[in-house]
C-alpha cells in the first residue's frame, strides 16, 4: 500500500468485509463506522485530527474514503502506519494496522 505526499489527499480502504455464518464475504456499507489514524514510529502524523472517519462510497463493495487535510505533515519517504478501527454493529468489530509506503509522485 502506498500514500503519495502532496497529491490528491484521497485515502481509500477498498473491499472492507466481514465473514458471515456461511463463510461468505459480507461487504460493509454505510451502516458501518470506519476510522483511520496515521502514525510514524508510534506518533500520530500531525496536520490532521485523528481518528478520521472514512465515508462509504455508495454502490461499492465495501469501499470507504476520506480526504486528508493539506496540512498533513509526512516525510519525503519512509513507512507510515494506518490503523483502521471498524464497527459494524453487534459483535462485528475489527482493529487492523497496515503499513503505507510514503512516496513523492514525480510526474
Encode pLDDT of 51-93 as tens digits: 999 999 999 999 999 988 989 888 888 899 999 999 988 778 8
Nearest residue to 10 (alpha-carbon basis) of 75, 58, 60, 54: 54
Encode pLDDT of 17-27 as tens digits: 888 889 888 89
How high is the pLDDT of residue 59?
A: 95
Phi-psi sector, 9: left (phi>0), alpha (psi -120 to 50), beta = left
**What cell does 27 get?**
461487504
Q: Which domains does the chain have, with CATH numbers?
A: 2-104 (2.60.40)
How high is the pLDDT of residue 74?
A: 86
Amino acid at each position: 500500500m502506498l500514500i503519495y505526499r502532496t497529491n490528491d489527499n484521497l485515502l481509500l480502504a477498498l473491499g472492507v468485509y466481514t465473514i458471515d455464518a456461511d463463510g461468505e464475504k459480507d461487504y460493509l456499507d454505510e451502516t458501518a463506522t470506519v476510522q483511520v489514524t496515521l502514525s510514524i514510529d508510534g506518533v500520530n502524523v500531525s496536520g490532521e485530527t485523528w481518528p478520521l472517519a472514512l465515508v462509504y462510497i455508495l454502490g461499492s463493495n465495501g469501499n470507504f474514503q476520506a480526504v486528508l487535510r493539506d496540512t498533513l505533515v509526512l516525510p519525503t519517504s519512509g513507512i507510515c502506519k494506518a490503523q483502521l478501527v471498524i464497527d459494524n454493529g453487534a459483535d462485528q468489530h475489527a482493529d487492523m494496522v497496515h503499513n503505507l509506503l510514503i512516496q513523492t509522485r514525480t510526474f
